[in-house]
A and B are shown apart, each in its own frame.
Chain A
Amino acid sequence: MEYANFELTKEMFERVPKEEKNIHEIVRPSETYWQDAWRRLKKNKLAMGGLFFVIFITLLAIIGPYLSPYNYYSQDFSIANQGPSRAHWFGTDPFGRDIFTRILYGARISLTVGYVASILNLTIGILYGGISGYFGGKVDNIMMRIVDTLYAIPMLLYVILIMVVIGAGLKSIIFALAIAYWLSMARIVRAQVLSLKQQEFVLAAKTLGAPHMRIILRHLIPNSIGPIIVTLTLSVPSAIFTEAFLSFIGLGVSAPMASWGVLASEAMETLYVYPYQMFFPALAISLTMLAFNFLGDGLRDALDPKMRK
């Protein structure tokens, strides 16, 4: 053999330098799910624009009314229907009320409806979808048949009916939206739970004797948080839109309070003469919906890289 008199000499070996010894170690701290998502989200300019606008409009709705020298209800006919000026940034309405201030108060109502309705239907949807997906079998079958049946019903019709029954007003709108729009959340959560419950950590939790509700609430739901947040973000603008829609057909909050939909609906009457009265509420609604939609799309890409197109 050729290798027979192959001799190992000391020179053939070299000590590994100290710094290379730790090469297998991860030097930088590993990123958590949220850091990773945030990093991806930051790269998406549209989504960040949306996020900043959402924060901006929310802050404005909270503190804006305190900073404004006007209120939403005092009428002063001597300054009615004035165009935008330095004193009244967005002009005044037929009752001499400052439109900018009314939009700020309107933001409170519209955003409250958006956030509260979304969070309520999130809660219903998560519990319903979680239970249905986790228990599976007959329970799942019956619960999903109910959802399918409800899904075929045009929900807006039902929101209108509920509003007619319980009367117009802020609480009614939130209630009607919350009980009508949880269906898609339930479906998404169920799909997530169905795939997650096969995994080992659920088996481990069961083996350790965790009760069902604990497994659903502490293990399954937190693991499907990505799609839940995306659905939540996208359901806020749809709630705001529905509120504006309802207000527009006369089922919204009552005067002198005004959501954006009410403002748009009131401005409809004076559109031919004073178009600016329509322009600003319409702009507020559109920009807010745009911002939430951009943010939602960005979050989908950031939280679930597999969904990327």
Chain B
Amino acid sequence: MLNYIIKRLVASIVTLWVIATATFFLMHAIPGGPFDTEKPLPPQIKANLEEKFGLNKPLSEQYMMYMKNLLKGDLGPSLKYEGRTVNDIIAYSFPTSAKLGIVTVICSLLLGTYLGVTAALNQGKWQDQLVMVIATLGVTVPSFVLATFLIYVFAVKLSLLPAIGFEGPEYYVMPVMALGGYSLSFIARLTRSSLLDVIRQDYIRTAKAKGLSRNTVIYKHALRNALIPIVTYLGPLTAGILTGSFVIEKIFGIPGLGREFVTGIYNRDYSMIMGLTVFDSFLLITFNFIVDILYAIIDPRIKLEA
């Protein structure tokens, strides 16, 4: 077990290093500097700016500086927001994104599992077909299409929900639906097929033969094992919600990380893009690491080799 954890930890650190390095060189490969605006700056000001951000030093030295700061958790200053560092921006906008993300994960997990179980227990009946239709649509309709559709119906036509902003519970409804639509559908499909697999196994028949009630058999015996594949999906689920938030936060005007990322792209704020990429990757890799270990703990049949 310990061996496995150490191996995974080393792999995670290597991955993070690859990401940080690749990001650094990609950002420095951009033709033209970050201060090449439409109106050319006076050469002296430009030189001063480059001096300030260390852009006039040789690339190798810049890389060493960047890596050293990164180890301290310092992602550097924003090139476009005067006097703000990338860390400031993350500290400000991450809580919003995290709240939205956590609510979305919980909603799609609970509702997705529920739909999956309903479909599996009514295999072939109308409930099953309805769930499969929802799941198919959810997987194929892009999140921004779903988001605009929701805005049109609930904000424009029915005036039920606010379309822009992020202040109270009612502001969560549409972003969560748009962001979680895909994962909900995926989880529903996964739960359905996994539960169908499990309820045909011998130990379920044994449980039934012992005279246990239907609910006990399903929820205590079958669902527990059926949910194991869902744990593996938790990693991709977070990744999807994280990248999905770029579009969703922009559409709903939510002041989170995703919107900052997109704004960074619009502004060509390279240190922002770089910092947020590294931060996002760090989050995902940490999460994947935890999920992998959880998975091994939950399912004792999994051999801890890698």
Contacts and interface: CB of A to CB of B under 8 A. Distances in A.
Given A152-B15, A275-B156, A290 B144 contact: no
B148 A268 contact: yes
Contact of B265 (A150, A153, A249, A293): A249
Contact of A148 (B11, B29, B139): B11
Nearest to A154: B239
Contact of B156 (A154, A244, A272, A286): A272
Interface string A60-80: 000000000000000000000
Given A153-B15, A153-B19, A161 B156 contact: no
Contacts, number: 99
B247 to A, nearest CB: 6
Contacts of A249: 246-247, 250, 262, 265
A160 B14 CA distance: 22
Interface stretch (B46-54, B278-286, B295-303): B278-286
Interface in B135-192: 136-137, 139-142, 144-145, 148-149, 151-152, 156
A248 B265 CA distance: 12
A152 B148 CA distance: 31
Contacts of B23: 161
Given A153-B19, A245-B142, A248-B247, A162 B26 contact: yes
A293 B136 contact: yes
Interface string B246-257: 110011000000
A267 B22 CA distance: 35
A161 B142 contact: no
Nearest to A150: B18
Contacts of B11: 148-149, 152
A220 interface: no
A153 to B, nearest CB: 6
Q: Interface SS of chain A: helix, strand, loop or mixed?
A: helix
A157 B276 CA distance: 10
A233 to B, nearest CB: 13
Contacts of A264: 144-145, 148
A285 interface: yes
Contacts of B262: 249-250
B193 interface: yes
Give the size category of A's interface with B. 35 or more
A113 B20 CA distance: 28
B22 to A, nearest CB: 8
Interface size class of B (residues with CB under 8 A): 35 or more
A241 interface: yes
Interface in A167-221: none
Nearest to B273: A164
B265 A251 contact: yes
A290 B156 contact: no
Contact of A152 (B12, B144, B265): B12
A278 B148 contact: yes
Contacts of B193: 309
Nearest to A249: B262
Contacts of A148: 11
Contacts of B225: none
B277 A161 contact: yes
Contacts of A241: 142
Interface in A230-276: 237, 241, 244-245, 248-251, 264, 267-268, 271-272, 275
Given A152-B285, A154-B284, A157-B281, A165 B26 contact: yes
A237 B265 CA distance: 25
Contacts of A153: 15, 18-19, 281
Nearest to A309: B193
A138 to B, nearest CB: 17
Nearest to B247: A248
> When A and B form their complex, which 8 residue pairs have the shortest distance between CB atoms, in order from nearest?
A282-B145, A289-B140, A156-B243, A290-B140, A152-B15, A286-B141, A249-B262, A165-B30
15 contacts: A148-B11, A149-B18, A154-B280, A158-B22, A161-B273, A162-B26, A245-B247, A251-B265, A271-B156, A285-B145, A286-B141, A289-B140, A290-B136, A293-B136, A293-B139
Interface of B: 11-12, 14-15, 18-19, 22-23, 26-27, 29-30, 136-137, 139-142, 144-145, 148-149, 151-152, 156, 193, 239, 242-243, 246-247, 250-251, 262, 265-266, 268, 270, 273, 277, 280-281, 284-285, 288
